[in-house]
Structure 1
């Protein structure tokens, strides 16, 4: 969850949604996101809406958070009415959700099930820092109904972790994967970050090798983004660290794709690889394919039927709103048909399934032809009416999307 909230129209204190949002409710996939904003320390690169104990004031205690989140889940049921909305995916993100007791995460999940019904076979994921769990904790999560866990590995090199201000030691993430497997988790993800200042090609290769050797069935790899206002940005501005290089990042991405492909992983979104269709993150696919989701937690962003809204940022303000019986929504926007189609293009083009050629605006057909001729799109997929990115196209995906919507 980004730490800076966008502008928008005022959101009603009741949380009421426009009729346009409720129209067709239940015909689209529905999921839940739960934002847990607590961290032990703030990583130097992180711009998410997270807080350490020293940054929290009264009304935002860890011990009360599950009850506060459950209050928003009950509000969601009132706002969405009696529509049959079986929850297909639940994702606990942060922050570090696993700083809460496993029993608290289980209570929040149970509340979602009680209010909406969690579908049989639903994907239920939590993010976790490797050092924030142990075998007993993971076993308790699995017993509570969690089916997937995503560990923030980032790197296998100690000096790279130090630049990122990560607390875990090299090797701990792999150990956590093994513990999750023994606890009964079939699906385990490792998150990696590349192009950290000071990282070498050998460092990145070692991180990929370590991630693959650990035995997850899903790997996410993201190029480091230097966000303004972070400690990392300040260090780069002072000249203590170099700015990440785009050409180096492109080389690192290509190495990731090469090694993951050899190990049996297949890309299904520009930054995500899985060993099978079942191993893909269904919750993120719900985002990327235009589903509906309610996001509970401070600063969390929801979307239902073309209406997007976001909650107040600070945990204390969030808790206070719900204690008063009011919606924690800070502001919202109702997307136009053009807005929604632009977002659909931006998201679906990043998927291995691609975007329908028939839905490309007539004015963008020249751009499509240029991209095809430049090797950015797969010729075979194009013949069947889909725009699917090549490896080169994945490296230039953002620029291609800008050209298509301009």
Structure 2
């Protein structure tokens, strides 16, 4: 698992330097439990037998109440939530009633905006028709199903427990319950051919979900798969293979009526994941649970990672935040570029050049204009959109987004 970032000590009472809630507000709820840990995963997750008393799935919803109450106090009630996302781990490892309980307390403390988007990730083997009906009745609007692949040998390499046949059943159950549907795919698994990837895309499209995410596999050194690569049991990912599969995804999904709105996300019109957009637009959100990260008005903070340590702090009426950083105006401008350039809507060509209410200088504008013209000439920014004052990535630019960000930062 990755280490937490460096930062300064967070106040024990959780207080923040700026609690003005003048930006849209979201909540992320981290559920750190899994039946098994997939070999590629380096998220902050645990199987139940690793934790023991004091950190079990059965008591988790009640433990979360302490952090939700703390957030309400710190933010002086905050503002109604526009999006809520339950991620993990495996949120659906908890009982449906537990997710409903957590959601109900969030609504009690903060309230929800009309039409709030309320999503949960779900592993196919952990839900059935009744589970999904319960989520809908509790107020959930959307479910994101971890399909990953439609090919059995790829699922086996990823240590996924479900069979390909299970996923269409889950999508049908979710749709029948009245939930919006999304599928998560992974490409670049060792041993996955181009035909395997095309098959996965074809199967995903055949289910007609509202939204599809496709993520290139990154193999981290501390994971089981990372050790397998180190010992030569599995080959490492190939950047050229990843690029080819991304291009296939864009081709196949666009032909099927899905449009990219963020580098790794495609949707039918009007079904973009609003919670995703909250992150990329650098809005405010509070992350609840062990290891969860939050952002409130330029202050980023993150919780202690281990579920027992997290629960113990809350039990002692202390903030579970391990540390925080208060971003400078320059750092906030750089973050706006790093996040916003990934969106299909792009950014103004002057983004990040001046502080709020300030106009960039002529020298800054000339330097930026030179950079953006060069990036357009190199095929990384759309020249037509640039002519209208927007920086928007081309397909090549999406493949080289980090290069574009570095150039704009320099």
Task: Identify the TM-score tier after normalising by the shorter chain.
Answer: over 0.9
Output one character per residue of 1:271-318: Cα deviation in whole Å (capped at 9) or x when no partner. 0000012x1110110111121011100000011000010001100111
Give, in whole Å, the separation in 1 of the partners of 2:50 and 2:371. 48
1:221 aligns with 2:214: yes
1:300 aligns with 2:292: yes
SS of residue paired to 1:208: helix
Offset of 1:358 from its aligned partner?
2.1
Aligned counterpart, 1:356: 348
1:72 aligns with 2:64: no
Give, in whole Å, the separation in 2 of the partners of 1:198 and 1:178. 30
1:145 aligns with 2:149: no
Aligned match for 2:31, one of 36, 39, 46: 36
Aligned counterpart, 1:127: 121
1:309 aligns with 2:301: yes
- Residue 333 of structure 2 contacts residue 351 of structure 2 at CA under 8 Å; is this kept in 1? no
- Provide the aligned length of Structure 1 versus Structure 2: 398
1 or 2 for the larger relative contact order (CA 8 Å, sep ≥6)? Answer: 1
Aligned counterpart, 1:378: 382
Give, in whole Å, the separation in 2 of the partners of 1:359 and 1:222. 27
Aligned counterpart, 1:392: 396
Aligned counterpart, 1:192: 185
Specify every segment of 5 or more residues in structure 1 that has no aligned partner in the other structure, as ranges.
none
- Residue 151 of structure 1 contacts residue 190 of structure 1 at CA under 8 Å; is this kept in 2? yes
Give, in whole Å, the separation in 2 of the partners of 1:171 and 1:395. 32
Aligned counterpart, 1:8: 7
SS of residue paired to 2:73: helix
SS of residue paired to 2:105: helix
- Residue 154 of structure 1 contacts residue 191 of structure 1 at CA under 8 Å; is this kept in 2? yes
1:104 aligns with 2:108: no
- Residue 77 of structure 2 contacts residue 110 of structure 2 at CA under 8 Å; is this kept in 1? no
Aligned match for 1:235, one of 207, 218, 228: 228
- Residue 89 of structure 1 contacts residue 282 of structure 1 at CA under 8 Å; is this kept in 2? yes
SS of residue paired to 1:240: coil
Aligned counterpart, 1:247: 240
Aligned counterpart, 2:162: 168
Kindly tell me: are residues 298 and 3 of structure 1, through their superposed partners in 2, closer, same or farther at Cα, counting changes over 3 Å?
farther
- Residue 189 of structure 1 contacts residue 219 of structure 1 at CA under 8 Å; is this kept in 2? yes
Offset of 1:170 from its aligned partner?
1.2
- Residue 90 of structure 2 contacts residue 122 of structure 2 at CA under 8 Å; is this kept in 1? yes
Aligned match for 1:344, one of 336, 339, 352: 336
SS of residue paired to 2:337: helix
Aligned match for 2:252, one of 256, 259, 277: 259
Aligned counterpart, 1:280: 272
RMSD of aligned alpha carbons: 1.1
SS of residue paired to 1:88: strand
SS of residue paired to 1:294: strand
SS of residue paired to 2:67: helix
- Structure 1 residues 21-32: aligned runs within 5 Å: 21-22=18-19, 25-32=20-27
Offset of 1:26 from its aligned partner?
2.3
TM-score normalised over the length of structure 1 = 0.96
Output one character per residue of 1:34-68: Cα deviation in whole Å (capped at 9) or x when no partner. 00000000000000000001211321011110011
Give, in whole Å, the separation in 2 of the partners of 1:94 and 1:109. 16
Offset of 1:364 from its aligned partner?
4.0
